[in-house]
Amino acid sequence: MKRKELHVVVGAGIAGCLAAITRSRAGYEVVVLEEQRARSEGTYPVCTRTSNIVSENHSGAEYPFDPQSARDCLDGRIENEQFFPELIYGGKTYSRIIASQSMMDDGHDIVGQCRANMDVIRSHYAQRCEEDPVNAVFGEPSVICREVPAVEGVNDVAAGFLTPQRGMNPVLVSTVLDWELRQCGVDFREGSSVGSVSRRADGRYEVVYTAADGTSETLVADQVSLCGATYAFGMAKRLNPEIEFPRLFMALREILYVDLPDGTDKNFTCLKLEDSYGGMLSPLNEHVAMIYHPPAAHVMNIVMDPVSCDPPAEYARYLAEGHPEMRERAERTVNRLREFYPELRRSKILGTYLKVAINTVSDSRMRRNIGVFGVHPGATMTVLPKWTMCAVNAKKELALALEHSRTSGNVTPDEVREILAGATRTCWETVPDWARKPESLTAQAKKHAVNMSVPEELALRFRDVTYPPGAQHVTFGSA
Ligand SMILES: Cc1cc2nc3c(=O)[nH]c(=O)nc-3n(C[C@H](O)[C@H](O)[C@H](O)COP(=O)(O)OP(=O)(O)OC[C@H]3O[C@@H](n4cnc5c(N)ncnc54)[C@H](O)[C@@H]3O)c2cc1C
């Protein structure tokens, strides 16, 4: 690189962390500004907001109603398999997509819909493998989906499906990202709330933020990456009022962590489709599970203001203070899911979380990837409606950044290709020594659980997992 550019990333959720890691690996000097502060010493506050309740690395299997979502998710899953180490799964194997018998009885052919979707996934995967053999991360296309007649220990099952979709553990994701950000030499500034981003006459960007000590600071950056979730839309619009977003819905959702006093024999996620017939049981280990029941979880849904692009004040209030129906909805979730998952019989609620989901349609069964926006040359915006799309979009974002450096004369076209390939390589190519010892790995993950306001038990992995040093990928055959 002819001149080392300074890049500022706003927000350290999953989108911002990946933007910072890939840009830094590409050779840029990177500063991350994150408004949250770490509560645990020696850690960065990463994935403390929406990214703290994510449990599924989708493959499209959960979207039998929308083939495009299925294909997008499978693309995301392929890239994630190449970017993240095995550790993030914490001993979880594959997710079981479950079609409910009661839904069939009521005349909805959910089994047929899931079967058709398996064909979409198989053929899209075959096409991706044909395009590039590197994409064959789950083995042979013909075996990546499998139907099973029942799922032991779940009630009301018409059919179950094994697909590359896999549950993961958000606390272990943060543990990996924190290490990787340090390895890359990213300058992480916590407690730094960005107030404005503006473009200067020389084409660079002025980022004004309130620092951790309360002072107002300004950074002048060659490039900026806006990754502040719902707040990023407003920042992008103020930077470029001409920018057009699709019609966007902001859904207020509720999700819970519960304990498992009777343990569980499921080291996989159960995704029982759909709406009132279904709900998710995602055990993180034998002690704690995440649960979700759509009718209780879907609290509100509004269309984003196309002018201000900011989230409405009532959402900000509910996120800060809670929603009046929160408790009742949480209890409804546990009670309903007890009917499907017997291990929840004596479970207690450990935490209830309100979050904003972003979508281009009002129907949660169709969720689209909105991609990466080039706000101005040198300014991108990445907001992820799905965690699963994180590595795909990080690659796109970096390609835009490199293109800007190329037009500024800082990199050559040949360098661009080489840099892109190197910057998106797997995290933890060399597993850190402390992570090889289960006690120190768990201790570090617990610190992230505290930062992320999730139960500390999440730091534990399923007991039967061992990680051979350097292990990265599993094949579908080991599910
Ligand atoms: C209930 C629920 C369940 C979900 N489950 C899944 C799932 O299983 N699988 C899946 O693929 N997806 C899932 N999603 C979607 C997933 O959570 C999101 O796609 C993803 O976490 C968004 O990441 P992000 O980095 O864009 O945003 P965030 O994680 O919210 O990160 C934004 C960051 O920006 C910071 N920030 C904001 N404004 C500023 C500012 N002015 N200055 C500095 N910092 C700022 C915030 O503090 C935060 O750290 C789920 C969503 C919901 C609501």
Ligand 1: nearest atom to the Cα of 11: 34
Whole-number pLDDT of residue 429: 85
In this structure, what are the phi and psi dihedrals at residue 245, rounded to the nearest 5 degrees? Answer: -105, 155
Distance CA 444, CA 42 (A): 9
Smallest CA-to-CA distance from 253 within 310, 302, 288, 308 is with 302
Smallest CA-to-CA distance from 8 within 214, 177, 233, 198 is with 198
Distance CA 390, CA 80 (A): 8
Token output for 151: 């799922």
Of residues 208 and 150, the one with the higher pLDDT is 208
Q: What is the CA(9)–ligand 1 centre distance, in A?
A: 15
Phi/psi region, residue 234 (left: phi>0; alpha: psi -120 to 50; beta: rest), is alpha
Is residue 261 within 8 Å of residue 47, measured between CB atoms? Answer: no
Q: Which residues of 384-421 are buried (b: 16+ CB within 10 A; e: fewer)?
A: bbbbbbbbbbbbbbbbbbbbbbeebebbeeebbeebee
**Residue type for 77, please?**
R
Is residue 198 within 8 Å of residue 71, measured between CB atoms? Answer: no
The reply to whether ligand 1 has any atom less than 6 angstroms from the CB of 225 is no
The reply to whether ligand 1 has any atom less than 6 angstroms from the CB of 228 is yes
Token output for 361: 């349609």
* Ligand 1 pocket: which of 36, 387, 389 to mutate (most atoms within 8 A of CB): 387
Going 54 to 60 to 65 to 71, the CA torsion angle's sign is positive
The reply to whether ligand 1 has any atom less than 6 angstroms from the CB of 293 is no
Whole-number pLDDT of residue 464: 55
Q: What is the CA(253)–ligand 1 centre distance, in A?
A: 12
Q: Average of pLDDT values for 212-221?
A: 98
The reply to whether ligand 1 has any atom less than 6 angstroms from the CB of 15 is yes
pLDDT band at 277 (very low <50, low <70, confident <90, very high): very high
The reply to whether ligand 1 has any atom less than 6 angstroms from the CB of 35 is yes
Q: In order of start, what are the domains of the chain with their CATH numbers?
A: 1-55+169-246+364-479 (3.50.50.60)
* Ligand 1 pocket: which of 44, 46, 49, 208 to mutate (most atoms within 8 A of CB): 49
The reply to whether ligand 1 has any atom less than 6 angstroms from the CB of 190 is no
**Which residues 6+ apart lie within 8 Å of 435 measured at CB?**
87, 175, 179, 428, 441, 444
Whole-number pLDDT of residue 411: 95
Whole-number pLDDT of residue 430: 85
Q: What is the CA(452)–ligand 1 centre distance, in A?
A: 12
Per DSSP, the three-state class of 220 is: strand
Is residue 423 within 8 Å of residue 22, measured between CB atoms? Answer: yes
In this structure, what are the phi and psi dihedrals at residue 246, rounded to the nearest 5 degrees? Answer: -70, 170
The reply to whether ligand 1 has any atom less than 6 angstroms from the CB of 231 is yes
- Cα–Cα distances (Å) from 338 to 71, 216, 234, in that order, read 32, 51, 41
pLDDT band at 75 (very low <50, low <70, confident <90, very high): very high
Smallest CA-to-CA distance from 85 within 183, 199, 169 is with 169
Is residue 153 within 8 Å of residue 265, measured between CB atoms? Answer: yes
Q: Is the pLDDT of residue 463 over 90?
A: no
The residue contributing the CA closest to ligand 1 atom 53 is 357
Whole-number pLDDT of residue 469: 45
The residues that bridge with 464 in the sheet, in sequence order, are none
Q: Which residues of 189-203 are buried (b: 16+ CB within 10 A; e: fewer)?
A: bbbbebeebebeeee
Q: Which of 8-17, 318-327, 424-433, 445-454 has the least mean pLDDT?
A: 424-433
